[in-house]
Chain A
Amino acid sequence: MSAARQHLDDNLLIHRYLADRGLAALDASDEAPLRHLAHCAACEARYQAVRAAFDETRDAAVADAEAACAVDRMERQRERILRRVDALQSGPRVLPFPAAGQNGHAAPQPRVFRRWVAAAAVAGLLAGLGAGRMVFNGGDARTAANARQQVTPASAPSPRRQTPTIQAQHVEPGLSDEEFLSEIELATAAPRTRELRAIYAFTLEESRDVPRTAGKD
């Protein structure tokens, strides 16, 4: 079989296609294949199929690109380009702070006003602290002096924990320790405190005279 009768392979068909598009040059060695293509219907059909496939791909790519070049998109792009060029000419731009930008001329007034309010609040706080200190220090001194006069040191561990007026009603100034303990026993045995005995037995130590203890025995 001679070379002229052999069918063309895909490489030659692609080369021919590129030459038809002006993207490749044919040389002398391509003469024989081109002659074959002119006389072989099968190869011509294959070439037309190759050409159609490539052309279809090109059309698809063109359509794909054209879809991105819509008129409104081009318009927006052009406006942005020109705005950037204008910005180059006018130099850097200072962006206003968002809060101040909404009401720029009114911004200094609230700032001064806020400063006055803050200063007044601080002054009021200091005055209140000073006055409170003077009032409560004087009261404490008088209360402590009264307590020292009315309560014995043994029955009152600290002046603050005692209520001088109540103590003055029940405790006699001249009681001894023994008498004071007797007074406590009498107080706990009183009818009003009997209900508390169960709680006392349950929470603290048991007393011998509690009826519950006697029942246990």
Chain B
Amino acid sequence: MTGSSGSRVGAPSPPARSDRAGDVSGRSGGPAAANCSEEARRVKAAVLAGQHDEARSAFADLVGSYQRQAMRLALYLLRDAAEADEAVQDTFVKVFTHITSYREDLPFEAWFTRILANTCRDRQKARRRRERWETIGFERTDQTGSAVDLAQAPGLNPEDELLGNERRRYLMSAIDTLPRRQRDILLLCHVEGQSPREVGEMTGLTESTVRVHLFRALRKLRTALEAGRVSR
């Protein structure tokens, strides 16, 4: 069963990052979103019919279609690859458990993103609670500005790769200087390409509040980058 769906994940459709980030309008109603909603309907129908194998197969397809985007969203919210990994797993398991309460007239993406955001928020709370009890000498590994180990970019010579990684760390550290809410909104809107309305639904804020936070985040980011440029 796993083997049949494994090929699907082995060659995942690459997310059109540049298109996605730049084209916000076509995001929610795109073919990928419609595909996810269709797969979610299949899972729900199979679960309601008591067809376990069919439900599992459809759910495997759904995970393969949406896990990459889910991982990016979780990473933006948690800024830690391991935590994001676990949050995505928890979210998918919750989705399967509560698939019968999924409303088919609404896009699956919005429902899933809401669950994911709540899961990430719970994890953030737990992490803050944990960090309060941590010893002073213990330092988290993700405080260098990058959430993950920097991947080796193919086709670059070592010097370019080193400079590129250094620049990336610098930019990510500039983002990390923002207040948490502004940073989350910046990453979701500016980087991931979610609309202010979607981010508002995800975070529980109004659309206008999201816009204000986004504007302030960019202004602070501009100031931080300018200050870094001068100090360098």
Contacts and interface: CB of A to CB of B under 8 A. Distances in A.
Contacts of A23: 24, 189-190, 195-196, 211, 214
A14 B221 CA distance: 11
A68 B75 contact: yes
B68 A69 contact: yes
B103 interface: no
A141 B25 CA distance: 111
Interface residues of A, number: 42
Interface stretch (B121-129, B131-139, B169-177): B169-177
B62 to A, nearest CB: 10
Dominant SS among interface residues on chain B = helix
Nearest to A17: B218
Contacts, number: 141
Interface in A9-27: 10-11, 14-15, 17-18, 21-24
B141 to A, nearest CB: 13
B147 interface: yes
Nearest to A62: B17
A64 B219 contact: no
A61 interface: yes
Contacts of A18: 211, 214-215, 218
Contacts of A53: 222, 225
A63 B168 contact: yes
Contacts of B24: 21-23
Nearest to B64: A78
Nearest to B165: A63
Interface of A: 10-11, 14-15, 17-18, 21-24, 50, 53-54, 56-58, 60-71, 73-75, 77-82, 84-86, 88-89
Given A18-B214, A57-B171, A77-B85, 13 more contacts: A18-B218, A21-B22, A23-B190, A23-B211, A58-B191, A62-B21, A64-B148, A65-B147, A68-B147, A68-B148, A69-B72, A77-B71, A78-B63
